[in-house]
Amino acid sequence: MTTPYHGRFRRTGVRRLPAAFAAGLMAFAVAVLAPQQPAAADTPWLDVSEDRYASFTVPAAYLQEHVGQVSQVVVEGNFGPSAAWAEFGLTRRGDVWSGVLGPLEPGLYHYQITGDDTKTLKDPTNGTSVASKPLWSTFLVPGESARWLADAPQGTGGKVSTLPYRTGQAARTALVWTPPGYSAKGARRYPVLFLRSGADGVATDWLDLGRAGQIFDNLSAAGAMEPMVVVLGDGAGSNDDDLRSLRKAVTDTYRVLGGPTHQAIAGVSEGATQALRAALTEPAQFGYVGSFSGLLTEGVGGESARALGRNLRLLRLYTGNVTDPAYNATHRLTKVLGRAGVRFEFDGVDPDGGANWTSWQDNLVDFVPRLFRKVSDHGPSAGHQPLKGEFAPPPAGTTPTPWVTRDGFVTFETTTDFTDAQHVTVWANIAPGGSWLRVPLARDGDRWRATVGPLDPWFYYYRFIVDRVAVKDPSSPTRVTSEPAWSTFLVPGREARLLSDVPAGRGGEVTSLTYRSSVANQDRTALVWTPPGYDPDRERPYPVLYLQHGSGQSYTDWLEMGRAKQILDHQFLDGDLVPMVVVMGNGNVSNFNQELLGNIVPAARAGYNISTDPAQQAVAGLSMGGGHAFGVLKAYPGEFGYVAAFSAGFGSGTGVDAAAINAGTKLLRLYVGDRTDFVYPSFMASLTTLDNLGIRYEFDGVTPGPHGWDVWQKNLIDLAPRLFKR
């Protein structure tokens, strides 16, 4: 598929830095992007490919031994939209639970393995660790936009040491990064940055999750920051006295400069609130202040604000999108600062960032080069957006769900039926390419709720998972006949135009066709799309496409899930489609060839003005339906001039009349998802079979996405305009 239908998962751009040091950056970046290697000798549970797919393989025996019998296994991690915490379900295949997720955007990921919602363990084959979260492991997906997070070449970085200090009777510790060339006995003194963690965070989080050490090393090596000492402090229990004690310990131990010109403070979440309060409380101490998802909204004014303004060289605010709790708080703070006359800079709303370390890494990369030096760039980062007011989903219970904003933020909400539930998630095709993730919902009174996004314009389907049981969203008016637990919604936008409804009265018509199935020995139904202006008495019959569903589906799925009507309507109105009739039959039979040629085709010919000329007939299908299309091609070569298979294998070449297929087929076009599509290996083997047989075909190339509707919708979008034009 071409890129117009490839979606955004998280940002792929690079944070803008002051232009003074951008020129020398690229050569250094090349040296630091070596892939991370597994630390343990055992077979790794995680493998990250060069094209950024994460493959998880968890031995069932290990789970049985350490957590007992489980009915489901998920990998929990920061895989969701805006790097939100999400669950990626694994599938039991023989002796292992496995799954492939991706392609992932470059960046640092953290994860743990969980069975049956509560039985969590660490990946024992991953040697990384997170001190504050003993069950978490991490892995780095390298790439240009993550270049600051890679390990610097050995011997080129700074050093991290531990600094013990006391606050009253309490013994505490901080971590201190010193730049390359720092000497405790040297004459040079350095400016200092105090970095605070959130209320539940610890100093090591800045290293384990924030990659602060790598960021400082890389910025330093690229000449992108002033040499400075950086003090990483805990957020828990931090107060003004603690900060004073820490500052004294730093002054006593390290060669640092004093005064606001040489002192900076910043933090994340509650740590950012602490930083802002510290700057207000002691305005003569800090000349540079950074708030990463800070929550302070009041207490700015009067003499403290005026004093802060006199000494302040930089106050820069950062926030993620509406999923960041600081979004509304930042909006209020900008108003308060403006009224108090305090100068500040705003980095703009990060459209793909939430309140997490993925965003705060970017904030740190943007903030540190601005310290203790003059910069000419004071605006927001590239691609960031202005604050447009506070975000407030409708009150609980007041609107059908999900509630979708124009920019792709989706609020899911349960009814009050699950008040006593222990674990509720929303399962949806919101991962890269349309793979499936479960996003945890949070209790909101007697309901469960979460806002997810931004999601790319496209068609989505979802269900709630309540204590491991799939549940239909009863507040959603949508339905899927073959999957009663599913609901659907559309995020509108240019990329999703072909999946949206055309104006009333301008599209084609869908009618039901009842036929007798001699194979199933019952009356069955097909759905038939006829183009706008369809004339049952037209002298020249219409060409016809027989479009088949997959296993576990039925004749309704191409309309309810595949959006076939919307796609065909738009392509016809756009002038891209040869006027045709599309028949969507029921392929759940023991002998599809007989069902198609003996039952569906004769009924369609009797009910609609369609051609019997093989050159005016096509058959296509997804998964099982693609296998059916291949089966018809093998058994009746030349009966259908156009044949296509989506995510299906050709199978054996034994007895296949390749010459007859080539002679009678105008177009054999094949499609498959990426390596997250479980038929990908067999499909690729099919290409070898076709090549060995000498059968002519077209392969569209891999369609990014799994064995799912995101892929098959794109396949139909590509195929339909190609039919009956040769």
* Same structural domain, 81 and 224: no
pLDDT of 390 > 50? The answer is yes
pLDDT of 19 > 50? The answer is no
pLDDT for 239 equals 66
pLDDT for 193 equals 98
* Same structural domain, 490 and 510: no
* Same structural domain, 166 and 308: yes
Tell me if residue 498 falls in helix, strand or coil.
helix
Note whether residue 330 is domain-resident: yes
Cβ-proximal residues to 65 (8 Å cutoff; 6+ apart), any chain: none
Question: Which segments within 351-441 are labelled E, that is strand?
Answer: 403-404, 410-413, 424-428, 437-440
* Same structural domain, 213 and 293: yes
Note whether residue 376 is domain-resident: no
pLDDT for 34 equals 35
Question: What is the strand order of the sheet 509-517 is part of?
Answer: 509-517, 522-530, 581-584, 544-548, 617-622, 642-646, 667-673, 698-703
pLDDT of 499 > 80? The answer is yes
**Average pLDDT of the segment spanning 502-517:** 97
Tell me if residue 578 falls in helix, strand or coil.
coil
Write the pLDDT tens digit of every residue in 546-558: 999 999 999 999 9
Show which of 347, 370, 393 is a domain's final residue.
Answer: 370
pLDDT higher at 373 or 15: 373
Tokens found for residue 91 = 């599938």
- 559: closest CA among 511, 611, 520, 514? 511
Percent of the chain with pLDDT over 90: 83
pLDDT of 725 > 80? The answer is yes
Show which of 496, 526, 554 is a domain's final residue.
Answer: 496
Write the pLDDT tens digit of every residue in 214-257: 999 999 999 999 999 999 998 655 567 888 899 999 999 999 99
Quickly state the pLDDT bin for 26 (edges 50, 70, 90).
very low
Instruction: Kindly report the CATH number assigned to the domain that includes residue 175.
Output: 3.40.50.1820
Q: Which of 19-23, 64-68, 329-333 has the lowest mean pLDDT?
A: 19-23
* Same structural domain, 660 and 569: yes
pLDDT for 42 equals 76
pLDDT for 4 equals 34
pLDDT for 308 equals 66
* Same structural domain, 94 and 161: no
Tokens found for residue 515 = 């036929």
Note whether residue 13 is domain-resident: no
pLDDT for 340 equals 84
- Distance (Å, whole) CA 541 – CA 555: 24
Write the pLDDT tens digit of every residue in 449-491: 999 999 999 999 999 999 999 999 999 999 999 999 999 999 9
Note whether residue 387 is domain-resident: no
Planar angle of CA 300, 301, 306, nearest 5 degrees: 110
Percent of the chain with pLDDT over 70: 92
Note whether residue 563 is domain-resident: yes
- Distance (Å, whole) CA 182 – CA 227: 9
pLDDT for 304 equals 63
Note whether residue 383 is domain-resident: no
- Distance (Å, whole) CA 513 – CA 536: 15
Note whether residue 6 is domain-resident: no
Planar angle of CA 668, 669, 671, nearest 5 degrees: 145
Q: What single-letter amino acid sits at 377?
A: D
* Same structural domain, 646 and 527: yes
* Same structural domain, 627 and 710: yes
**Average pLDDT of the segment spanning 656-673:** 98
- Distance (Å, whole) CA 566 – CA 709: 14
Q: What is the average pLDDT value for the chain, to the nearest integer? A: 91
Q: Which of 111-125, 187-201, 511-525, 584-598 has the lowest mean pLDDT?
A: 187-201
- 87: closest CA among 543, 556, 426? 426
Note whether residue 378 is domain-resident: no
Cβ-proximal residues to 606 (8 Å cutoff; 6+ apart), any chain: none
pLDDT for 280 equals 83
Quickly state the pLDDT bin for 258 (edges 50, 70, 90).
very high
* Same structural domain, 227 and 128: no
Partners of 206 in the β-ladder: none
pLDDT for 339 equals 86
pLDDT for 388 equals 87
Contact 91, 74 (CB under 8 A): no
Cβ-proximal residues to 87 (8 Å cutoff; 6+ apart), any chain: 74, 75, 76, 114, 425, 437, 438, 439, 440
pLDDT for 399 equals 82
**Structural domain of 715:** 501-722
Instruction: Kindly report the CATH number assigned to the domain that includes residue 91.
Output: 2.60.40.10
pLDDT of 15 > 60? The answer is no
**For the chain, what is the domain count?**
4
Quickly state the pLDDT bin for 33 (edges 50, 70, 90).
very low
> Within 68-222, where are the H helices?
205-208, 212-221
* Same structural domain, 94 and 202: no
Show which of 354, 370, 386 is a domain's final residue.
Answer: 370
